[in-house]
Chain A
Amino acid sequence: MTRLAVKSCGMLTTLQDGGRSGYQRYGLSNAGAMDRTALAIANLLVGNKPDAAAIELAVFGGELVVEGGEARVALAGADCPLDIDGAPVPALTSRRVAAGSTLRIGAARAGVFAYLAVAGSFDVAPMLGSVSVHLRTGIGGLDGTPLKAGDVLPLRSHRIEGPDLELAANPEPAPGPIRVVLGPQDDLFAQVGIETLLSSEYQITAEADRMGYRLSGPKIAHADGFNIVSDGIVTGSVQVPGTGVPIVLLTDRQTTGGYPKIATIVRADLGRFVQLRPGSKVRFAAVTLQEAVALARSDARRTASLMTAIRPANLDRLDSARLLGLNLAGEAVDASAGGPSKAS
């Protein structure tokens, strides 16, 4: 049986798939990959379904060894250098990997979350419908915790055939402000508060993790206090506690809460938002519900067009990359073995 043995990795390296649904009524949020488009690209490059389980790496890279058989791997999302036994692999390209090979992933040069997918995905039992690790609850993955040195992930039995693949399109989403739909509690904010949200520059703070990103910037004025009787929260809710400074709630969020929610980030912009690092500047722009639905449709078309842009990898480039890799092997970027967590 083929396995992926973790030799080192950052502290927030977790198994994630499309997340779980049906348990929010018991207080268990979805979990799942923070950047679903990046998860889909990594999976499609190795021939998996878009939502298959992959390793989510947050900022820091890692070192993994393929054991017991050959595998095919691909990395997408945050811009991290990848080499296999010292040979650099171009971005957004899958690679057939022989047993005994070492995958070395460097720290992200841009973005936060990268996804390492393996052909056939991982042979890990789902818990309540998903293998996604939900950190605060301690469920999913191998044992409900992030991956660490010494962990061994079994791969599903899978025949590696056909050529390596590459994505012949730019997966970068269009830049611009992060779009939001106002509500559900926009009526609990002063008009000036809504104007503050939509006209100011905010910054992602270091208090950012899979549950949510706390922002810094101008305070948003409530109309009348900041206590509401707790109600439901969705991924992308922009919650404003008494401090007046927004917190964006994400996939590991609480399912309900009692601070008013001024707006909701549209799903099409969520991947772009979660890839913003602490210190990054962000602006928000309001769209109507119907515009948000149209954005959801065009985002689905964009993801579908990425699927059609996946084709056999250019063999010439593969050869030159190999040659380059031999020259650079001694200087390959060292993967970070841990380092401080960026989580709160």
Chain B
Amino acid sequence: MLEPRILICGEYAFAIEYGTTVDPDLNARVLALDAALNAAKMPGVVETVPTYRSLLVHVDPLVADPAALAAEALKLARTVEPLAASMRRWRVPVVYGGAFGIDLEDIAARHELTPQQLIEKHSAPVYRAYMVGFMPGFTYLGGLDQSIATPRRENPRAKTPAGTISIGGIQAAVASVEAPSGWHLLGRTPVRTFMAKRDPVFLLAPGDEITFEPVPAGRWDELDRRAAAGDPVAEIVPS
């Protein structure tokens, strides 16, 4: 395990980085530091953002010196014990390929797989939700079968659809709203991970487990209608 270190993100933020990899233990330490830092209520700390392997801390440099705050946070980072994350397991329906996942065939070919084999490899693992970021409700997953890991596109696409199921590098994701992306689009889910007028507004949380259930394109309309009406569509299943 690497020693945690400070990354400078301008004068209004810094990050405490535990490592550079996707690792459930690193992520558990990030969530622990997040909880500890917020409990400490240090003046000048505005907002924290837990990610896979680091904690981004937004600060107000007019209230407290960011270098001093970062040094304090680093001290805390060295001492916190990893949190046992809550373990809910979700089953998320996905329509793969075609217009729902325009990169499925290309990515299958790159790995010398048939599209069906790629679907099986993508939907087999139990993923862990490491963070919600990028866009509201966009959930980053660890646990991708490393034999289908694929570097991101050199040039991100300006628009990808809401609910896109994608892979980028060694990561996988459930997208929420329409957004730009440099990841590869394998399928789409009707699940709304973020819905401003639903309670809960955000469906998935870091620490949750996610499984994907391939469903035929013919079921899309019905599932999408239910999701639009506020039905989570994703189910919590026994782990």
Q: Give the interface of A toward B (CB within 8 A).
A: 21-28, 127-128, 136-139, 144, 180-185, 207, 211, 225-237, 241-243, 254-259, 261, 264-267, 289-290, 292-293, 295-297, 300, 344
Nearest to B11 among chain A residues (CB) is A292
User: Does B91 count as interface, using CB distance less than 8 angstroms?
Assistant: no
CB distance from B1 to the nearest CB of A (A): 15
Q: Is the CB of B9 within 8 A of A255?
A: no
Known: A24-B49, A232-B55, A256-B51. 12 other contacts (CB 8 A): A24-B56, A26-B136, A136-B135, A138-B196, A183-B9, A233-B56, A254-B134, A255-B134, A256-B134, A256-B140, A292-B11, A296-B11
Flag whether B194 is at the interface (Cβ < 8 A). yes
Return the chain B residue nearest A235 by Cβ.
Answer: B12
**A233 CA / B49 CA spacing, docked (Å):** 9
Are A259 and B52 neighbours in the complex by a CB distance under 8 Å?
no
- Chain A residues with Cβ below 8 Å from B67 are 289-290
Least CB separation from B54: chain A residue: A231
Chain B min CB distance to A51 (Å): 14
B9 surroundings in chain A (CB, below 8 A): 183-184, 232, 234, 237, 261, 264
B58 at interface by CB-CB < 8 Å: yes
- Find the B residue at minimum CB distance from A247: B156
The CA of A256 and the CA of B48, in the complex, are separated in Å by: 12
In the complex, A138→B46 CA distance in Å?
A: 25
Cβ of B222 within 8 Å of any chain A Cβ, yes or no, is no
Q: Are A289 and B196 in contact (CB under 8 A)?
A: no
B: number of interface residues (CB 8 Å): 61
* A to B contact number (C-beta, < 8 Å): 182
B residues 129-155 in Cβ contact with A at 8 Å: 131-138, 140, 151-155
B residues contacting A by CB (< 8 A) are 7-15, 17, 20-22, 34, 46-56, 58, 61-62, 65-67, 131-138, 140, 151-156, 158, 168-171, 176-180, 182, 194, 196, 201-202
Which residue of B has the minimal Cβ distance to A237?
B9
With the chains together, A234 CA to B12 CA distance in Å? 8
B61 to A: closest C-beta gap in Å: 5
Cross-chain contact B49 with A232 (CB below 8 angstroms)? yes
Partner of B17, one of A211, A231, A237, A266: A231
Residue of B nearest to A184 (CB): B7
Chain A residue numbers with a CB within 8 Å of B56 are 24, 231-234
- The minimal Cβ–Cβ distance linking A221 to chain B, given in whole angstroms, is 14
Q: How far is the CB of A303 from chain B (nearest CB, A)?
A: 11
Q: How far apart sit A300 and B21, CA to CA, in the bound complex (Å)?
A: 39
Whether B135 contacts A229 by the Cβ 8 Å rule is no
Whole-angstrom distance from the CB of A211 to the nearest CB of chain B?
Answer: 8
| A300 contact set on B, CB distance < 8 A | 62
